[in-house]
Structure 1
Amino acid sequence: MSKIFKNYPEIMDELEDVKKIMKKSIRSSEKYFDEAISPMINNGGKLLRPGFLVLSGKFGDYEKDRFNNLAAVIELLHMATLVHDDIIDESNLRRNTESIQSKYGKEYAVYTGDYLFSQCLIMLSEYDYDRENLKNISKVISKICLGEIKQFNFRYATNMNFRKYVRVASGKTAALFSLSLFVGAKESKCEESITKTFAKIGYNIGMAFQIIDDLLDYKGDNKSLGKEAQRDLIKGYYTLPLIFAINEDKNDGIKSILNKDMLDNNDIEKIIKLVNKYEGVKKARNVAKKYTFRAYDNIEKLPECKWKNVIKEIAKGLLERKY
């Protein structure tokens, strides 16, 4: 279970229920799906998106079963994108276990991601959810796809810049964080101004989260990250720490390495040293702080209740995380 929510037993209990709903949703006559997907659910991930949905829902008219089902949809949607990501990136590790595409092959992984998407649609039909929420969920699926395509089109681009990076991260990551907080508030019948504030909070937390994820790629290892470190760099996805370092490297030493046909371990080590030399990680962390502080400002606009400070504490924890 997510370490992020360990100090909030009420949210932890809700997330345990969300996991049970997810496990139930993947059962079918084809035993493969349960065998392949269960390890991803059991190993948990951070469960941030469903956790945020539950939190924003508690600012209004909260119904446990209704909201936990919706939270499970959001997490299954996220998992579907991860399964497909691993195919494209040829990743062997996901949530500290062998990825589906590595263990079962790309064909099965494609079907698994599609199956997860289909289960999301079925689960959304089980309750009379707000029409605007259903529309926004569909829009965000589209945004995620567009963000992934943008990222793919920018592969190996040594002229990658901050503006392009934000376009990718906002679609690929921030959109789903924003959706999670918006959907919870909207479904609990919060005022429109509050739901919009939650959407902004989610966007800023999501951007900070992605930036921290990217800088940890230059600091962490496979075990601590739960996935393969430096995978983005190897596959040609140049993220913010590297972008900042390239801009500071007037001798083009980093570009000369990146322009090689294939990078070996020695090349990766050189790039990591240069990224740290030019303070790419430090500068990226400062940008993550700015997004987090924007989230803080928006959190202050929320109505007073015990959950308001919880959201702020979690945003702070995500900024300081090492995994």
Structure 2
Amino acid sequence: MTTTDPARVREAVAAPGDDASPETWLRYAREVTDPVLRAAVSALHERARNVAGYHLGWWDEQGRPGLAGWGKAVRPALALLAARAVGGRPEVAANAAAAVQLAHDSSLLHDDIIDRDETRRHRPTAWKVFGVPGALLAGDAMLTLAVSLVQRHDLGARAAAALNEAVQQFIGGQLEDMAFEARTDVSLSECTTMAARKTGALMGVACRLGALAAGADEARATSLDAFGRALGLAFQHVDDLLGIWGDPGQTGKPAGADLHARKKSLPVVAALAAGFPESAELADQYARDPALDDAESLRHTADLVERAGGRRASADGARRHLAEALRHLDDARPAEPDARPLRALAGWLVDRDH
């Protein structure tokens, strides 16, 4: 497998300045990470490579170049900016950034199969195009590729162990999420723990690997891991809000998709646990056959979540976990102003609309 030399990345892509916008840093993260991803994915079996490249937006189902892109590059940006926050050059974390993106996209391929989602990033999901077996095996290949990429980096076994542990945690979170679908008694504490595993673990390890790539000691890397985990919870609160009230043109998913899937998301669980009359009606709605849903019933269900306090609870939770994340960032004794972009990105992720 080929990896990309960070020095060549540095020559090709100039890092933004301290005061650059989060969107600029996200674009930079994509530009730095994309060549590493392409070099890594090129080592896959042809069929797995075709699925992976389609999922990542590099080409269409027939292999023609495409412009769909592979998402916002949040986790690569966290890896690069964590390296910067401890005084390193962001590009030294290019391989770590690509590894966490591969692990994340592996989980998305699997999630789409589990949830039977038919659209991602404004296109048919990979399993709809290539079938379930092809998408499943491509996701497995991308996950093993992520670990291999970290092992080939100078960080070696320590970083690979951290990535493996994060993967185990987000798999556990996914299993818990699936189990919640069959239960009517999911508590907000359980839902928060699930989100910490499913989303927080990988965002935490992105920050840890970035810090380690820049030479941070274990204490600073651990504080940055805790920063990423808390930020992951804030991120998930916002993601769940967008899953109900987001603009489909921005999110790339149909309106009310999470409600139609009867997801026990954070705002829904908060609303169900609130004890209001709307909570009971929401429970009745969630017990209905999803096949009976139409646009009006989904709007009504979203209104019940809001009236029972779920929307406000998740908005408050996002702000609370952001504040916690920033405290952990301070514990890492970041180099200033090098940490300024990481702080700005954290705030942007909680205020985003897509």
The TM-score with structure 2 as length reference comes to 0.83
1:322 is matched by which residue type in structure 2?
Answer: D
Residue 283 (str. 1) matches residue 300 (str. 2): no
> Could you tell me how far 1:173 is from its partner in structure 2?
0.3
Distance 2:191 2:41 in 1: 34
Residue by residue over 1:96-145, the C-alpha shift from the partner in whole angstroms, topping out at 9 and shown as x without a partner, is: 22110111111111111012123223323433324322111111111111
Judge which range, 284-293 or 220-229, deviates more: 220-229
State the match for 2:283 in structure 1: 255
State the match for 1:321 in structure 2: 352
| Native 8 Å contact 1:144 1:175 kept in 2 | yes
State the match for 1:205 in structure 2: 231
Distance 1:41 1:160 in 2: 34
Judge which range, 96-105 or 52-61, deviates more: 52-61
Distance 1:85 1:243 in 2: 20
Distance 1:62-1:40 versus aligned 2 partners, 3 A rule = farther
Residue by residue over 1:199-222, the C-alpha shift from the partner in whole angstroms, topping out at 9 and shown as x without a partner, is: 111011100000100011121133
Distance 2:44 2:161 in 1: 31
Distance 1:308-1:223 versus aligned 2 partners, 3 A rule = same
Distance 1:315 1:183 in 2: 17
- Percent identity, aligned pairs only, is 21
Distance 1:248 1:275 in 2: 10
Residue 188 (str. 1) matches residue 214 (str. 2): yes
3-state DSSP class of the match of 2:341? helix
Q: CA RMSD in A?
A: 2.3
Residue by residue over 1:154-182, the C-alpha shift from the partner in whole angstroms, topping out at 9 and shown as x without a partner, is: 11433221111012101100000111111
| Native 8 Å contact 2:48 2:134 kept in 1 | no
| Native 8 Å contact 1:4 1:317 kept in 2 | no
> Could you tell me how far 1:65 is from its partner in structure 2?
6.5
| Native 8 Å contact 1:91 1:228 kept in 2 | no
3-state DSSP class of the match of 1:58? helix
| Native 8 Å contact 1:185 1:195 kept in 2 | yes
2:266 is matched by which residue type in structure 1?
Answer: L
The TM-score with structure 1 as length reference comes to 0.91
In the alignment, structure 2 segments of 5+ residues that lack a partner are: 1-19, 58-68
Distance 1:119-1:192 versus aligned 2 partners, 3 A rule = closer
The correspondence for 1:307, drawn from 316, 321, 338, is 338
Within a 5 Å distance, the mapping from 1:139-218 to structure 2 comes to 139-218=165-244
In the alignment, structure 1 segments of 5+ residues that lack a partner are: none
Distance 1:281-1:163 versus aligned 2 partners, 3 A rule = same
> Could you tell me how far 1:18 is from its partner in structure 2?
1.0
Distance 1:298-1:128 versus aligned 2 partners, 3 A rule = closer
1:239 is matched by which residue type in structure 2?
Answer: S
Judge which range, 273-282 or 169-178, deviates more: 273-282
State the match for 2:23 in structure 1: 6
> Could you tell me how far 1:268 is from its partner in structure 2?
1.9
| Native 8 Å contact 1:59 1:188 kept in 2 | no
Distance 1:264-1:97 versus aligned 2 partners, 3 A rule = same
Total equivalences in the alignment: 319
1:260 is matched by which residue type in structure 2?
Answer: R
Distance 1:141-1:4 versus aligned 2 partners, 3 A rule = farther
Within a 5 Å distance, the mapping from 1:14-53 to structure 2 comes to 14-28=29-43, 30-42=45-57, 43-53=69-79
State the match for 2:65 in structure 1: none
Residue by residue over 1:276-315, the C-alpha shift from the partner in whole angstroms, topping out at 9 and shown as x without a partner, is: 2223111210011000011122223323322312111111
